[in-house]
Amino acid sequence: MKIPLPQAAATEARNPASRHIDSLSTLQLVEVMNQEDAGVANAVAAEAPRIAQAIDQVAARIRQGGRLIYQGAGTSGRLGVLDASECPPTFTVPPGLVVGVIAGGRVALTSAIEGAEDRWEEGASDLEALSLTPMDSVMGIATSGRTPYVLGGMQYARSRGCLTLGLACNHGSALASAVDLMITTVVGPEVVTGSTRLKAGTATKLVLNTLTTGVMIRLGKTYGNLMVDLTATNEKLRDRAVRIVAELTSLDSSDAAALLQHCGGEVKTAVVAHLRQISPAEARLRLAACGGHLRPAIE
């Protein structure tokens, strides 16, 4: 199915600020790009209420066993896969909880797959392979708001009773009428006309950062701004885990490391066990009774 491009698509318009960018000095070129990038945060801020709604609705569904699934093509798909892949080490969630699906499959992460974004039916079949349930939340990411692959996926996700979310950079897009909740970050014309890996890509990354971080905070994955549910898979993260335990328990680093080891490397378990003077097993039960949230477990 071919979707006509809206005549006023902002992401395809020419940017007057960069019309003669090839004749500028390198410093001037950098300054033009930086000035254009400065407006991206405001475009995201304008969608704060919709992003907050998305966080609450996705978190509620994950608590009932659902997943968050991103679907996109090209840069949009790559950013979705990137965000999904960073959730397990950051928040200690299973790899299948946040999923990234990209048109053309995994090879499209490093190579352009010509025509993949135009395949409506593959958008549906790629999601069908995930055995969607009504508790899943599926976000279609398409800066143009008209990518057939994404629209096909959203139609299928809706048919399965999923919460459908959209993320685009043009108002009045086809995607807006294909989803339950739409986030539209209007960043305007790109420095290089139509190159949506630039401002549109930056806006997409900001929204996805906020969405998954907000969801994980709602699920109890942080204590204040401390990453208390991290998976210590390397030396840097092991050091961070020890520092967090030391800060929250007032232990020195060697005692904090010993406590962490005694608690199976689980930061929250270590903190609760020490502050409540209970065993690691009892600490885990206490955390479970508090829905995994550290604050009520220690207070």
Phi first, then psi, for residue 105 (nearest 5°) are 80, -170
What six digits make up the tokens of 181? 């909740």
Catalytic site residue 86?
Answer: yes
Q: Which of 12, 36, 47, 86 is catalytic?
A: 86
What six digits make up the tokens of 98? 């946040």
CA distance 220 to 252: 25
Q: Which of 36, 47, 117, 122 is catalytic?
A: 117
Q: What is the DSSP letter of 70?
A: E
> E-strand spans in 64-219?
68-72, 98-102, 137-141, 163-168, 181-184
- 277-282 long-range contacts (CB < 8 A, ≥24 apart) are none
CA distance 7 to 21: 25
CA distance 162 to 243: 40
Cα dihedral sign for 250, 251, 256, 262? negative
What six digits make up the tokens of 165? 């979310």
Q: What is the DSSP letter of 14?
A: P
Phi first, then psi, for residue 83 (nearest 5°) are -60, -40
Catalytic site residue 121?
Answer: no
Q: Check residue 92 and give left, alpha or beta (phi > 0: left; psi -120 to 50: alpha).
A: left
CA distance 271 to 276: 8
What six digits make up the tokens of 258? 């010993």
SS3 at position 233: coil
* Residues involved in catalysis: 86, 117
